[in-house]
Structure 1
């Protein structure tokens, strides 16, 4: 009996310690589950049960139970009844995690959108597709590539689209997804954010080589950090981008009301320009700098849509904000697969959209120039193949990358854009195989 009591005591102590050390994580687990549920249901129009049992079937997150309130347009989640978090949706702004100070979005302003009906086919309009078969495309080979990507359940590819010479030559969606389903780009949003800087540079309204305009840095060793350093993830500021523990990035995304401050507060660990350190906090810091560029908040909210998104007809795109109305430029842009392809095509055409020059060719050269100490894999908020991480595709290929294998690949030498979205990160070998099989269809 004494041994049993000792065993029970040890078990109880172990359980208490387990809860003690993991309890703070419940905040992040519930936060992820409620935010992801709200965005998928209200932004993407997804089925809540499908999100719960498919999207949330991942380590730790699957411990959370979620529910939605259609009337209040909220989603809530907790872990075995503990640490309930709620996300609130507002049209035009998306879903945001609330806290004790804010039970819903804390401001009334929403972006003004200019969405026009058009008569043009994709990509310069949304009125259908050109149905002409291109003579130099091996459509059977395209079919092979698509079958290999979408018929393997372990890869969890959800949508795949290939555009060649401005024409869709392959497009497929799994059940539950269509050409009209918005997809969360996760960190592909970083490339969208950077593009806004390219547009301002082209307009002569910003100099990316100028010092970052942050008052609290002016009198300390951070005063030499430039916008260029931030765009290249070379600020030298401390940052921990670890999604599997309580870290800088998880605290920012699931606890902070103002996500532009997380990186702004950190100190230097290296001189600016010397260390490459991937940081979602840096992207949201850039979103805050962009906000301060405008005289009023409405102008900031309108700028991404007027200057880029609606300007090229990506009308499905929505960039969600934090509680204080800052665009979450690190992570939260949604768009249909076709509209993500339009973003890639804008770069394929060096910033020119059907005669409208949004940014210069020099900007494309800038974002595709390898950043020092990134091993040729990173440019200016875009990922590169300059270091040959994909050995069977051209080194000129570059891409917008996001969590769980969201990708927009721009392939200049083949006049091609490939969009892949899914629920599972792919290895370099898997992406190399996918792209090489697609490229085999073009002599």
Structure 2
């Protein structure tokens, strides 16, 4: 009897230790699943079943049990019944994970949006694109190339290929179409960076100035510039790993204010000499953008009035954290066509059908390789200077995101290529190369 009691006590103790040491992981698993479910169901208008069998169907996230409350527009996720997280959807702000401090009676500020132009044909409006056929395009090769991206291995959801401002190829996976909002993940960083370009062009900010962070004034971090932050070259410590408990996952699924976590990190290198990819840095930049405005409403409105709605990306929603700051690192949703518009804006050096949002100097700045990045990175934009895609032009650049979200800009070829999916398994080098081969 005593042996049995001791055995049960040992098992019970082991279970407690297992839960204790894995609690942070359970927190992130449930947090990811709840946030993903709420956004997928209430922002992207997908079903819970679809979300569970596609977006959340990978280890260890598929271990969580999800449920939605249609009336209050919320999602809850339970990790083994040991820990439950909840996310709520707020119109205009997207979904957010809540904590015990959340007060549902507080009404958050919401960005003011302009109405979409449904009269002008795409891309300068949202009406049906004009049909166009180019004699120099091998459409058979082009369409076969695009179709090859849609299979169980590549898991592509949308492809849009634009040539000379015209859609020359467009395809969607089952359950998606040209009106489906898709999460860009870290392509959101390029939006955040673009807003600095707009302010720079307006003469309202100097990206070469010291970062306005009071916590850094009395140590070596005081020398970090906005420029260093835009290039991910601040020298600050950061761990960007989505397969473990890292700075990135703790920020996205545990923090109420995501603009502050990078501020607390020490230097482990020197500014302008230590490139380190960091979502925390981009959310810090979102916080610096907040400082440029007297009121939070002005900050919320600026992202839409000066960029997103200004070029007709009216489907786009950038989600905020629990403190009301845009999650500029990760949480922009938009249709594939609207993601293509952002690429076209850069292709045309900041000019949108006669409206100058920023100038060519900003494009040159944003696509100049960051020191120590081996030609891979500019200012919140990925580059091909380092030959990541050997069969694509070296001056190609792109907005990239987790699980294979891409907008490629090829200036010399007058091309914008959008690929949105669920994996990075696709051979993007071959994909781009064959699209180029189809245009003679």
- Structure 2 match to 1:288: 287
- Structure 2 match to 1:187: 186
Distance 1:316 1:289, change over 3 A: same
Shift of 1:426: 3.2
Query: Matched residue of 1:89: which SS?
Result: strand
- Structure 2 match to 1:219: 218
Query: Matched residue of 1:35: which SS?
Result: helix
- Structure 1 match to 2:163: 164
List runs of 5+ in structure 1 lacking aligned partners. none
- Counterparts of 2:207 and 2:105, CA distance in 1: 32
Alpha-carbon contact 1:308-1:358 (below 8 Å) kept: yes
Verify: 1:92 aligned to 2:96, yes or no: no
Kindly report which structure 2 residues correspond to 1:96-115, keeping only aligned pairs within 5 A, or say none: 96-104=96-104, 106-115=106-115
- Counterparts of 2:325 and 2:104, CA distance in 1: 15
- Structure 1 match to 2:43: 43
Alpha-carbon contact 1:88-1:105 (below 8 Å) kept: no
Kindly report which structure 2 residues correspond to 1:10-409, keeping only aligned pairs within 5 A, or say none: 15-104=15-104, 106-150=106-150, 152-409=151-408
Q: After superposition, give the CA deviation of every residue in 1:42-80 in whole Å (9 maximum; x if it has no partner).
A: 111111111012211111100001111110011110112
Verify: 1:442 aligned to 2:439, yes or no: yes
Query: Matched residue of 1:404: which SS?
Result: coil
Q: After superposition, give the CA deviation of every residue in 1:154-187 in whole Å (9 maximum; x if it has no partner).
A: 1111111100000000001111111001000000
Shift of 1:217: 1.1
Query: Matched residue of 1:77: which SS?
Result: strand
Alpha-carbon contact 1:341-1:419 (below 8 Å) kept: yes
Alpha-carbon contact 1:106-1:324 (below 8 Å) kept: no
Query: Matched residue of 2:30: which SS?
Result: helix
Query: Matched residue of 2:38: which SS?
Result: helix
After superposition, the CA RMSD in angstroms is: 1.9
Q: After superposition, give the CA deviation of every residue in 1:416-443 in whole Å (9 maximum; x if it has no partner).
A: 000001111236xx11011111111111
Alpha-carbon contact 2:147-2:171 (below 8 Å) kept: no
Shift of 1:13: 6.1
- Counterparts of 1:376 and 1:104, CA distance in 2: 47
Using structure 1 for the length normalisation, give the TM-score: 0.96
Distance 1:274 1:104, change over 3 A: farther
Of the structure 1 ranges 224-233 and 110-119, higher mean CA displacement relative to structure 2 is found in 110-119
Of the structure 1 ranges 27-36 and 116-125, higher mean CA displacement relative to structure 2 is found in 116-125
Query: Matched residue of 2:28: which SS?
Result: helix
Of the structure 1 ranges 264-273 and 63-72, higher mean CA displacement relative to structure 2 is found in 264-273
Alpha-carbon contact 1:90-1:105 (below 8 Å) kept: no
Distance 1:203 1:12, change over 3 A: same
- Counterparts of 1:262 and 1:4, CA distance in 2: 48
Query: Matched residue of 2:158: which SS?
Result: strand
- Counterparts of 1:105 and 1:18, CA distance in 2: 37
What is the aligned length?
Answer: 440
- Counterparts of 2:135 and 2:233, CA distance in 1: 46
Using structure 2 for the length normalisation, give the TM-score: 0.96
Distance 1:2 1:136, change over 3 A: farther
Shift of 1:389: 1.1
Alpha-carbon contact 2:156-2:422 (below 8 Å) kept: yes
Alpha-carbon contact 2:117-2:312 (below 8 Å) kept: no
Shift of 1:348: 0.4
Shift of 1:103: 4.6
- Counterparts of 2:317 and 2:104, CA distance in 1: 18
Shift of 1:17: 4.0
- Structure 2 match to 1:432: 429
Query: Matched residue of 1:96: which SS?
Result: strand
Of the structure 1 ranges 115-124 and 171-180, higher mean CA displacement relative to structure 2 is found in 115-124
Distance 1:62 1:348, change over 3 A: same
- Counterparts of 1:80 and 1:305, CA distance in 2: 40
- Counterparts of 1:366 and 1:114, CA distance in 2: 30
- Counterparts of 2:369 and 2:8, CA distance in 1: 58
Alpha-carbon contact 1:106-1:323 (below 8 Å) kept: no
- Counterparts of 1:106 and 1:260, CA distance in 2: 21
- Counterparts of 1:133 and 1:12, CA distance in 2: 70
- Counterparts of 1:284 and 1:104, CA distance in 2: 25
